[in-house]
Structure 1
Amino acid sequence: MLRSVGQTRVTGSGEDPRETALRAAVSRLRRQLAGHPAEFPDRGIAEDELAVLAAMVAAGDPEIPRMRRSLLLIAGAIGSVSALGPALMGVRDAVDLFGEVPPRRQV
């Protein structure tokens, strides 16, 4: 598993703190999305991609490129629902803890 400099496991828990942060952020956005009264066309996409992020964290092997793709799809699906903005930023911040996507090699 990739680790950023300065990221260590929480003593005694055996869990990467980045995974803990991502799990909490995804859970928060899922709850807020479920409780949001307005329906919008791409709500299902946001819910599906949040489930993908949750599954990656549960498996203990989050893939940075896939997490970033999910984040983009969630942001696009939620669109301008301002009430969900802070929770969405929490997910983004948690994904950013995993670092940048390595650049593609030129062939």
Structure 2
Amino acid sequence: MLRSVGQTRVTDSGEDPRVTGLRAAVSRLRRELAAHPGRFSDREVAEEELAVLAEMAARGDPDIARMRRALLLIAGAIGSVSALAPGVLAVRNAVDMFGEVPRQR
């Protein structure tokens, strides 16, 4: 069950469903990447950035600007591997749920 607390919706467990979605999408893509037999030069970059996103999700307080940077690096690193495209899209959708980077004045 979802309920609202201020501007943030939370589950009965008290966790923001956006964080839950990010955690699930990152976990899925990490599994798919680990199982992918192909070799590509930026695989390590993708793995490192997925680890960054996983850590943010584990803390429950993601930094939107850093998440978007990680997403760009992941997409750049594995974007041409079509078998991983659905997983990359799921991570993108999860990151998008947090909104845009606040503009600096």
TM-score with structure 2 setting the length: 0.91
As a proportion of its length, which structure holds more strand? 2
Using CA pairs under 8 Å that are at least 6 residues apart, name the structure with larger relative contact order, 1 or 2: 1
Q: Secondary structure at the match of 1:9?
A: strand
**4+ runs deviating over 6 angstroms:** none
Alignment of 1:36-51 (within 5 A): 36-51=36-51
- Quote the Cα distance in structure 2 between the aligned partners of 1:68 and 1:19: 14
Matches within 5 A, 1:56-75: 56-75=56-75
Within 5 Å, give how 1:25-104 maps onto structure 2.
25-104=25-104
Structure 1: stretches of 5+ with no match in the other structure: none
Q: CA separation in 2, counterparts of 1:38 and 1:30?
A: 14
Q: Aligned partners of 1:66 and 1:43: how far apart in 2? A: 19
**Conservation of the 8 A alpha-carbon contact between 2:25 and 2:94:** yes
Displacement of 1:104: 2.5
Instruction: List gaps (5 residues or longer) in structure 2.
Output: none
Q: Which amino acid aligns with 2:84?
A: L
TM-score, normalised by the number of residues in structure 1: 0.89
Q: Which amino acid aligns with 2:18?
A: R
RMSD: 1.3
Once the two structures are aligned, what percentage of the paired residues are identical?
68
Aligned residues: 100
